[in-house]
């Protein structure tokens, strides 16, 4: 009996760090080249401009926020961007944008935000990525060019 409890306690203790790491796991499973091609759907609203002002992807779009650092970042993190009320509520949830969150969000932005916030608002992002594969590839592409450096270093949790 004691041996069974000891094994169960050890297993539970070892599992805790794994769950904590999963919340900030920024591993990308998609195809970067396919994601770059899929990003063409996004450039009418989004751009990826690094801190030095260099445009890494897209054009000078202003409808949506700059996506630089979104991977490993959090909702509502781009300063001076006017987010919807529900997105601002999501920013207070402290959700790290990893692959699972990103894929779910871009396939149904309003639905995802309603689910995590319990709010009945609407996202300003009305476009929905139709195919899960495209969403996974988009994540891989953005992770390849613009991962949030603090989260990648383990400081984003």
Structural domain span for residue 144: 2-152
Closest CA to 48 of 78, 88, 85, 92: 78
What pLDDT does 152 receive?
A: 54
What pLDDT does 80 receive?
A: 85
Strand partners, 55: 49
Count of domains forming the chain:
1
**13 inside domain:** yes
Mean pLDDT in the chain? 81
pLDDT digits (tens, 9 = 90+) for 8-54: 344 333 333 333 334 467 888 999 999 999 999 999 899 998 888 88
What pLDDT does 36 receive?
A: 95
DSSP 82-131: ---HHHHHHHTTT-B--HHHHHHHHH-HHHHHHHHH------S-------
Give the count of beta carbons closer than 10 Å to the beta carbon of residue 69: 23
**55 inside domain:** yes
**157 inside domain:** no
pLDDT of 72 > 80? The answer is: yes
**65 inside domain:** yes
**109 inside domain:** yes
Q: With a threshold of 0.85, does the pTM exceed it?
A: no
Domain with residue 120: its CATH number is 1.10.760.10
């Amino acid at each position: 009996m004691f041996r069974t409890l000891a094994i169960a306690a050890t297993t539970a203790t070892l599992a805790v760090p794994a769950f904590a790491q999963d919340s900030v796991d920024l591993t990308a499973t998609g195809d970067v080249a396919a994601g770059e091609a899929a990003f063409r759907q996004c450039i009418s609203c989004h751009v990826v401009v690094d801190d030095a002002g260099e445009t890494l992807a897209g054009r000078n779009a202003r409808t949506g926020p700059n996506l630089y650092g979104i991977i490993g970042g959090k909702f509502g993190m781009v300063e001076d961007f006017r987010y919807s009320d529900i997105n601002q509520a999501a920013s207070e949830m402290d959700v790290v944008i990893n692959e699972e969150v990103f894929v779910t969000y871009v396939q149904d932005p309003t639905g995802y935000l309603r689910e995590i916030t319990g709010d009945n608002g609407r996202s300003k992002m009305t476009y929905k990525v139709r195919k899960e594969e495209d969403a996974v590839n988009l994540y891989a592409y953005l992770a390849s060019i613009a991962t949030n450096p603090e989260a990648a270093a383990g400081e984003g949790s």
